[in-house]
Structure 1
Amino acid sequence: MIEVFKTNVDDAGRSQMLIGLLKKHFPVCRINFDLEDCDKVLRVEGREFCPTRVIELIKLNGHYCEILT
């Protein structure tokens, strides 16, 4: 399963912190940001994860996040 999210994360340090947080909840997933993309894309790839939980975790840390359609 691969899910791509639109965010407003624009700082490399902040993105690394959020990746670390997400890895604690989804340790077997591949997670990365593309901050060069206009949508500041967050990509999560793995067998099992909850996209709604990803959005909640990002929002709890003060950022916008939605599934990119």
Structure 2
Amino acid sequence: MVGIFRTNISTQLDKNSVIEAIYTNFNVSTCSIDMEDCDKVLRIVAQQAPIEEKLVISFLQQMGYQCDILD
């Protein structure tokens, strides 16, 4: 129920925008972006069902960001 992604989110404004959009469009309990990490790690914890990683990646790409599963 946790999804961890590498992104290219680079500003606080972008971070706030992405987090708000994720809370609005996905059923998550927590969402955070570590701006200090070189991979700008996006961490999403789902409320019940597993994170649909492909949907999250597609969603962020539609917003204009790079997003990949962090291995």
TM-score (norm 2): 0.88
Question: Residues 68, 28 of structure 1: CA spacing in aligned structure 2 closer, same or farther, 3 A cutoff?
Answer: closer
The residue type equivalent to 1:4 in the other structure is I
Structure 2: unaligned runs, 5 residues or longer = none
Deviations 1:5-32 (A, max 9, x none): 0000011111110111111112433111
The residue type equivalent to 2:57 in the other structure is I
In 1, Cα distance between equivalents of 2:60 and 2:66? 7
In 2, Cα distance between equivalents of 1:54 and 1:34? 17
In 2, Cα distance between equivalents of 1:51 and 1:33? 16
Deviates more, 1:45-54 or 1:56-65: 45-54
TM-score (norm 1): 0.91
The residue type equivalent to 2:65 in the other structure is H
- Structure 1 segments (4+ residues) deviating >3 Å: none
In 1, Cα distance between equivalents of 2:27 and 2:20? 9
Number of corresponding residues: 69
